[in-house]
Structure 1
Amino acid sequence: MNLFAEAFAWIFSPDRLTGSLTLPTAILQHLAFTFGSVLIAAVIAIPLGWLIGHTGKGREFAVFLSGAARALPSLGLIVLLVLLLGVVHKTEAAVVAFVLLAIPSILAGAYTGFEAIDRSVIDAGRAMGMTEWQILWKIEVPLGLPLLIGGLRSATLQVVATVTIAAYVGLGGLGFFILQGIPLRRFDQILGASILVVALALVLDGLFALMQRLVVPRGVAAPTSLTRTTIPRSRPLADATA
């Protein structure tokens, strides 16, 4: 318990506001890498996932791509990309590694969100004369959004934890204090920085969990796994997709 007390004392020490890297700056760097990487991954993975979920084609490719990306060791990939791109481009190398880490979860959330929708709802939309674009934006996207947010949530938690290794190539973040504390045997510093990483992950997880509940269309049960999204028969289709 004394070590935890020392870790919190390290976190709230005025010394954290001075030096070559202050604690607030490290937190901002950590969040910048996290959100930047997840945003880039989302731009790539969401359209691809929606295309797979809407057409029903390419799912095997998506599963293969996700599995291959998950198998890549992040630290080894960052070091390899730094060696290939050069030290000048070490930031880009780290971001590429984090993007590859985030893509599988977002891609899975995007296409499984569409797959979880009861196909009778899609058929009802076509029977009403909706075009494919209208079905996509008025039915599939709103109903698939909770699982997509779940994918973004999972990707963000994976990246915010992995960004710690960016310090190995001198990119700062909270990992800087962990790496600095290891040779100095500053266990209070190591634990304090680790606690902050965990705290960031918990806060982000809570925000995404709240967002996941808020995006559920009125009258629709929120899917928490790959169960089909259903709409009560007593509610018109237009209300369910409002």
Structure 2
Amino acid sequence: MGDEAGPELTAYVERALRVMEAAGAHAAEVPVQQLARETGLPLAGVQRLLKALAQDGYLTEPDDGAFTLSGRHSPLGSEHNGHKRLDRVRPALTSLRDELSAAVYLTLYEEGEIRIMEIVDSARTPRVDLWVGFHDAGHATALGKSVLRELDEKARAEYLSRHSLTDLTPHTITCRDELLRQLDSSPTAPVVMDREEYARGTTCVAVPVYSGDRVGSLGISFRSDRMYRTSRVRAGLLASAMRVTMGLSLPD
């Protein structure tokens, strides 16, 4: 991995799964203290996880301080469904769009390609014109560079051997060594940016997400002349990445 973002996200989802499994083992609601004992996790951490799981609809809280597995989700271990997973994370994408007033994008790395899985925009937050497909533009977008940054050396080399670093704008990085240096030494990691590297007048910011063991990225785009607070963008993206990773990784 490029840094600790991947392991942190994975550990978060693993803890959420343990809490879900513990709650699902009971026919009735379970007190927080009991779930903490059964999972072996700190009480404060379990409380935070339970609130997040309840917020996203995986658990319900019939009584104050007690939780149960939500009836609208299938039991753990059932077959994954791509459409259901996207439906599950769409509220988080919409919330991020509204919070940062920017179009939101979700990608996953599948079969050696960086694929756009979902775009959430609006009339006030239009998406960037995807004038070049991601097959030819992974090196020039924050979304693509976020994925490349998380790949191991072998997978990254294999990807770059099949994709030319096409010159899309005067700001596009077309030198492989320069791209690799940028990926491995970003001072803002795990946040990755592209400043008019894909499209003139557009800036994009992205962070990694995971669907099980598959890496992806969550990002936003906005006009380069727009003023924005870096700390707010970073905090919003990282918090949403946790929710999206959990939604993509938890069983249906």
Flag the structure with larger Rg: 1
Could you tell me the TM-score, scaled by structure 1's length?
0.25
Higher strand proportion: 2
Could you tell me the TM-score, scaled by structure 2's length?
0.24
Higher helix proportion: 1
